[in-house]
Amino acid sequence: MKLKYSIITILFFAGLLTSCKDYLDVPPMNIIQDQDLMSSENGMLIYMARLYSEMPFEDFKYSPQRWFYDDYQVAPGTVEGSSLGRNGAQAMTSEGWVRNSNPWWPIAYRTIRDATNLLENLPTYKGSFNESRYNHFMGEAYFTRAMVYYALAKRWGGVPLVREVLKYPENSVEALETPRSSEEETWEQVLSDFDAAIANLEETSPVRGYSNKYVALAFKSEAMLYAGCISKYNTALNLTGFGEKTGVRVIGFDPSTAQAASKKYFTEAFNAAMRIIKSNKYSLYRNKWAAGDKEAQYQNMIEMFVDINSSENIYIKEYSYPDMPHGYDIYNMASQWATGANGAFNSPTLDLVELYDGIDRNLDGTIKVFDREKDDPNRKYLMFDNLMDIFKNVEPRCRAFVMLPGDTYQNEMIELWHGTYTGDVADGISPLMSFNGEVDYSLATRGKYNTTDAYRGAGEYTQKVLYIDASRSTHEIVTLPDGSSVNASGRCGPYWNDQYGSITGFSLRKAISPNKSKAELASGVEAYDSHHCVLMRYGEVLLNVAEAASELMLAGESRVDGNDLLETAYSAIHDIRERAGADPLAGQADLKGETGRDLIRKERRKELPFENKILWDIRRWRTQHSDNLNGSTQSDGAYYRGLYPFYSTRANKYFFDARFDFFTHRYTLKLNQYYFAIPSGEVSKSPVIDQQPGL
């Protein structure tokens, strides 16, 4: 479904002007009353504009730091391990995110009030609409409230549940105080509101930008996966607690009911997704897809995020320039096309890229860059004629999501290489990360290439043989064998003293328009982009049904409502992988047990990065604090890795180093920080609102 805020905004202000003209003798606070908006479809268009303008959509303007407030720049990938962001979020601890005193809490409850007001008062004007349209507007109110409570629950657990419009001064301040409900009661409210929305919404959105039955089903499947995981994995970690003021279990589920609750919610997620699948209203995007054709599969996955009529789109948000633009492209594009401070705000990590099929690997699963195992002291770099040769067999989905070194954009090569090596290559090239003869790829902070023996002309090197640009504007000039000269590093970096190029050796490609001119990219205009953002798509629905089926199988179920769980999960994952150009599964047995569950989780990480989904996945799985990444864990700060290309002038070939990001960015999370702190002002002014236990 498409959301065109520019049109709605015009109608909104047109409604205001008309109302002012008709009611100039009424005090300003009463210019627009319920009867003016709820007695006609045009009036309801204005009312809905207010609801949708405050919906907690995690779109191109959302970031963990600034939430829903037009940040433009930093994607959640920076705190989920999919990318590293140069603008601060890469080192952001959960102290700054989880405890952020963000103003969205009161906005959330204002939106809940507007939705509840519609539920209470629209019945008075039921005669103004046909039955289907009346029910739809009621469904929109339930959908709005479900989305807001869902956004609240996944951040704070149990929250105050306001089910009627609170009136003042009709009621005393004491009577208006609403304590936090338990987390389980909160998720029950989310479920109840989604179900009411689904029961009332029309199957096709009556107005461009509205919800419909299938939009609500899709978001319900996502929300119920979250609830099922919380009831299951919170209990496994004994992550629960009671409020000091009320004694209510504001985080976690009662251990005696948690297992039954998780099974219930996974079943709800499964059934909601299955209703969408069986409706045949949506399908995986395959407009340019061709079996066995990796180039066609790559182009297909590029186009699916820019084709506004994609069969996969369930709900999208539209933008327009100049009144409602975004800056996703200009901030995330590889920096060789950017000007000023723009470009390369998010650099995908090697940890993400290594998830994809078609990469030659070491025995431990990491990318193979040496001719022997990486702990062999006699290893030498593998040499490649072209930068893209190391990725020649990678699944097309990876290319469509990540700008790889040496790939092309607008028929121009992406210049991602870190430096130039001029040393002898007769016996191969030994690891560059040597310091006084000792090779060191550890987390030591000395590990930038400008401190190595090859750069300094030390150890086995009698002269400097490694050249690296310090920044986009500070270059080392290298003379090539033919006498010509070049800058040491590619125009996208990475640079050893500047984060305005790529940090990791990769740039973001997913959802960036393939049709932007170089002039547009170099314009320096930050809020310039207008292509839509996909908020919910059929690919996620397939992943939802597969994960819910896996969790139900782990709980001892084999069928739900006549649907074979293993068969359903296999069909969904098979279709996702086939469209992506990934290697086929061996068979249904691949999806059995915890191994199968983990394979489905991995598939989500491969399919959904940079869509504001994976951060919430790893939080609901309760793995963000414990993921082991190359010897470091989230509890002591997860460090992420990059792939750093180099050009050899004598061999006229490229080689790669795989190592920790040399700026040593990390994200830390403590176990008790899966829940956000309630804004301190809300706690201090209320005798009944509890702060999170342990914060």
User: Once rounded to an integer, what is the mean pLDDT over residues 378-385?
Assistant: 97
Reported as a pLDDT band with limits 50, 70 and 90, residue 636 is low
**Would you state the pLDDT for residue 291?**
97
Q: Is residue 218 part of a domain?
A: no
Q: Is residue 423 part of a domain?
A: yes
Verify that 344 and 459 share a domain, yes or no: yes
Verify that 349 and 436 share a domain, yes or no: yes
Higher pLDDT: 523 or 491? It is 491
Verify that 432 and 567 share a domain, yes or no: no
Verify that 566 and 461 share a domain, yes or no: no
Task: Report CA 331 to chain centroid distance, whole Å.
Answer: 16
**Would you state the pLDDT for residue 8?**
40
Verify that 638 and 500 share a domain, yes or no: yes
Q: Is residue 226 part of a domain?
A: no
**Would you state the pLDDT for residue 100?**
59
Reported as a pLDDT band with limits 50, 70 and 90, residue 90 is very low
Q: Does 106 score more than 50 pLDDT?
A: yes
Q: Does 162 score more than 70 pLDDT?
A: yes
This prediction's pTM:
0.92
Verify that 360 and 506 share a domain, yes or no: yes
Higher pLDDT: 659 or 25? It is 659
Higher pLDDT: 455 or 436? It is 455
Q: Is residue 546 part of a domain?
A: yes
Reported as a pLDDT band with limits 50, 70 and 90, residue 2 is very low
Higher pLDDT: 635 or 310? It is 310
Query: Position of tokens 């009320």?
Result: 246
Q: Does 395 score more than 60 pLDDT?
A: yes
Please say which residue of 573, 604, 627 terminates a domain.
Answer: 627
**Would you state the pLDDT for residue 672?**
76
Rounded CA separation 552/555 (Å): 5
Verify that 576 and 620 share a domain, yes or no: yes
Give the tens place of pLDDT for each residue, 292-302.
999 999 999 99
Q: Is residue 181 part of a domain?
A: no
User: Once rounded to an integer, what is the mean pLDDT over residues 322-350?
Assistant: 82
Compute the mean pLDDT over every residue in the chain, rounded to the nearest whole number: 88
Verify that 397 and 371 share a domain, yes or no: yes
Q: Does 576 score more than 90 pLDDT?
A: yes
Verify that 572 and 489 share a domain, yes or no: no
Higher pLDDT: 120 or 498? It is 120
Verify that 442 and 552 share a domain, yes or no: no
**What is the number of structural domains in the chain?**
2
Least confident among 373-382, 465-474, 631-640: 631-640
Please say which residue of 597, 627, 657 terminates a domain.
Answer: 627
Quick one: which H or E segment has residue 251?
A: strand 249-251
**Would you state the pLDDT for residue 15?**
40
Q: Please, which residues have CB within 8 angstroms of residue 652's CB and are 6 or more apart in sequence?
A: none
Verify that 433 and 339 share a domain, yes or no: yes
Integer angstrom CA distances of residue 41 from 44, 129, 199, 405, 606 = 5, 8, 20, 53, 43
Verify that 622 and 635 share a domain, yes or no: no
Q: Does 9 score more than 60 pLDDT?
A: no
**Would you state the pLDDT for residue 499?**
79
Answer whether 107's CB lies under 8 Å from 152's CB.
no
Rounded CA separation 261/265 (Å): 6
**Would you state the pLDDT for residue 135?**
97
Q: Is residue 634 part of a domain?
A: yes
Q: Is residue 400 part of a domain?
A: yes
**Would you state the pLDDT for residue 263?**
98
Here the tokens at position 508 are 């973001």
**Would you state the pLDDT for residue 635?**
56
User: Once rounded to an integer, what is the mean pLDDT over residues 374-392?
Assistant: 95
Rounded CA separation 570/583 (Å): 14
- Quote the domain boundaries for residue 412: 66-77+334-525+628-668
**Would you state the pLDDT for residue 84?**
84
Give the tens place of pLDDT for each residue, 58-74.
998 887 777 776 655 55
The phi and psi torsions of 608 (rounded to 5 degrees) equal: -115, 10
Count of CA atoms in the C-beta half-sphere (13 A) of 574: 13
